[in-house]
Structure 1
Amino acid sequence: MFKVAVIGASGLLGRAVVRELAAETDWQVVQTAFRHAIPAQIALDVRDRQAVEAFVTREAPDAIVIAAAERRPDVCEHDPAAARALNVDAVRSMAQAARQRGAWVLSISTDYVFDGTTPPYRDDDPPNPLNAYGRSKLDGERALLDATDNALVLRLPLLYGPVVEWSESAVTILVPAVLASARAGAPAVAMDAWATRYPTFTPDVAVVIRALLARCADGNAVRGIVQWSGDEPMTKYEIAERLARALGVEARLAAQTAPADATPRPRDCHLASTRLEALGIGRRTPFDVAIGTVLGGFERRGSEARATTHTDQ
């Protein structure tokens, strides 16, 4: 039986991958989490090299998906050492342990390895990260590929999907501000209209990862670097507008046409997905359709939680 370890299964992308792999009844899926481990998950601090080695030796996976990372650029900028512990050192430890086992490793990286000046970017274009987050993820790519030749880097842009709290994604984190701006007498909320992003739906990424794992299981593992991206360009301001439409509110938004973030961010890092497309791998759900399911699902869960709380009282 093909055995897959999903590292960081409680996160935004990890949850989507686990849900997608549930359809593979001939596979065994092992999940790990750090802070939010549930009974189906194994608690694992990926920064602990000995714990990583013990986990891989004990579970003996055929493939490992590393979805655990420090993904917040501002946090990385303020504490680069902590970011590197997750984004570089932990990846290296996992890759070294996997090499001893002979396991294939897929590690998630980011469009922020590029400087955003000459999009679209192919997987073999020279990287030039502008901030600590991009530098840590680029170093993580190199650590992975230096540690084992049986590995794949999957670069992704801005992710969104089913969330347990709005702050899990840079897309859904805008929802409270959009709703607040729609209240009577509320001031307009400033939203970045300078940088172009390509929001990518985590269930679509999970489909990509499942296809890559299937190739590995069949003895045709993809190695090196690949990229996957949504194909709808939009600024944060435009994302907020579309959120407002999906929520059915009249939001008051002000477009910021110059960069205002304290941490430098690239202007347009559109990732070319040509290698995966050539393999026939990929799925893209239209943003308005996908965000509708995200918002609706969050509201349903909130209603159920409120009902449960009322009953318990």
Structure 2
Amino acid sequence: MFKVAVIGASGLLGRALADELAQQPGWQVAATAFSRPAPGRIALDIRDAQAVEQFVEREAPDALVIAAAERRPDVCEHDPALARALNVDAVRTLAAAANRRGAWTLSISTDYVFDGTHPPYQHDSVPAPLNAYGHSKLEGERALTESTDLGCVLRLPLLYGPIVSWAESAVTSLVPAIAASAAPAGQPAVMDAWAIRYPTFTPDVAFVIRQMLELHARGDAIRGIVQWSGDEPMNKYEIAVRLAEALQLDAHLTPQRTPTDATPRPHNCHLASTRLEALGIGRRTPFDTAIRQVLAAFPWRGAAQA
């Protein structure tokens, strides 16, 4: 029996990962959640060091994946204490507890540890975050490496996948505005056409993590920093155009060519996935194929009112 603890299994990535791992014969998943408890999920506040210690001691996982985080840049900017508690201190607590049990820890990080001026970024490129979110995730990377010798950081870009609400991903969060712009009296929706993103499908990431876990199960754990990314560059305006096509909506979209976000965001943080690819790890579902799967599984009619 190979046991994996998925921390934050109710989130966008955590659900995809828990689903992927549950299909593996001989594997057991200990899935935790905080804001969305459900049957089969263990309630855990990762800010509670004692609760974390008790969870790891009781479940005794062979590996632990930290998919819980505060990932909203604007929230991190305005509440740096919350960002530190979830993205730094909790990572340190979890990694240290796992290390005491000899469990491998995988912590999820972000392309926002880079400033976006010199892509593509390798796993050993020098980080230079522009905002509080990027800073907190970079500190979280360091917290992991300081807490365990049996750990790995996986940096990821913009994620999308099966959702429980439109707002859960920055990709699907565009749908209500797209739908409203297509209404008979709808106003054009202004979409950012400045920042270049690489939307990455959560079931693909889950597949990648499962492959990494298989290496650990065979005694060949990956350490240090690795990165995974979709390979289709697009800005939010281009994403919105493709969403409108998938939804068969005659949307009225206007590109915004200069940055307007109050929180600074990088221009292009393309992550090179070469370290994982060299190990034969990876899977990429084309964006148009994947987003249609997401939309087909989530009712979008009335999205303008959602």
Matches of 2:28 and 2:301 in 1, distance apart? 28
Is 1:73 matched up with 2:66? no
Whole-Å Cα distance in 1 between the matches of residues 36 and 171 of structure 2? 22
1:52-98 CA-partner distances (Å, limit 9, x unpaired): 00100111101000000000000000001111100000000001101
Please report how far the alpha carbon of residue 299 of structure 1 lies from its aligned counterpart in structure 2 after TM superposition.
2.0
Separation (CA, whole Å) in 1 of partners of 2:161 and 2:242: 15
SS at match of 1:141: helix
Q: Equivalent residue for 1:309?
A: none
- In the alignment, what sits opposite 2:19? 19
Report what 1:236 is aligned to: 236
Question: Structure 1's 300 and 266: CA in aligned 2 closer, same or farther, altered over 3 A?
Answer: closer
Could you tell me which residue of structure 2 aligns to residue 99 of structure 1?
99
CA distance in 1: counterparts of 2:134 and 2:277, whole angstroms: 25
CA distance in 2: counterparts of 1:21 and 1:60, whole angstroms: 17
Change (3 A) 1:21 1:150: same
Check if 1:62 corresponds to 2:58. Answer: no
1:164: how far off? 0.6
The aligned counterpart of 2:161 is: 161
Aligned length: 302
Residue aligned with 1:65, SS? strand
Query: Cα deviation per residue 1:223-243 (whole Å; 9 max; x = unaligned)?
Result: 100000000000000000000
- Who is 2:38 aligned against? 38
Give structure 2 stretches of 5+ with no counterpart.
none
In structure 1, C-alpha distance between the alignment counterparts of 2:41 and 2:192, rounded to whole Å: 38
Matches within 5 A, 1:1-313: 1-299=1-299
The CA distance in 2 between the partners of 1:191 and 1:300, in whole Å, is 19
CA distance in 1, matches of 2:248, 2:35: 35
Shift of 1:209: 0.3
Q: 2:93 & 2:5 partners in 1: Cα distance? A: 15
What one-letter code is carried by the residue in structure 1 that aligns with 2:222? V
CA RMSD in angstroms comes to 1.1
- CA–CA distance in structure 2, aligned partners of residues 39 and 266 of structure 1: 39
Q: CA shift at 1:300, angstroms?
A: 8.9
For 2:131 and 2:233, the matched residues in 1 are separated by 22
Distance in 1 between residues matched to 2:28 and 2:241, nearest whole Å: 42
CA distance in 2, matches of 1:264, 1:243: 25
1: CA distance between counterparts of 2:60 and 2:91?
Answer: 17
User: Hey, what's the Cα distance between the residues in 2 that align with 1:158 and 1:293?
Assistant: 17
Match of 1:306 in 2: none
Deviation at 1:212, TM superposition (A): 0.4
| SS at 1:299 equivalent | coil
C-alpha separation between the residues in 2 aligned to 1:144 and 1:60?
19
Q: State the AA in 1 paired with 2:168.
A: E
Per-residue deviation, residues 167-193 of structure 1 (Å, max 9, x unmatched): 000000000000000011211111000
Cα drift, residue 25 of structure 1: 1.6
Q: What TM-score, normalized to structure 2?
A: 0.97
Q: Secondary structure at the match of 1:214?
A: helix
Counterpart-to-counterpart distance in 1, 2:301 and 2:245: 21
TM-score, normalization by structure 1: 0.95
CA deviation digits over 1:249-286, x for unaligned, max 9?
A: 11111110000000000000000000000000000000
Alpha-carbon distance, 1:23 to partner: 1.6
Q: For residues 152 and 21 of structure 1, what CA distance do their matches in structure 2 show? A: 18
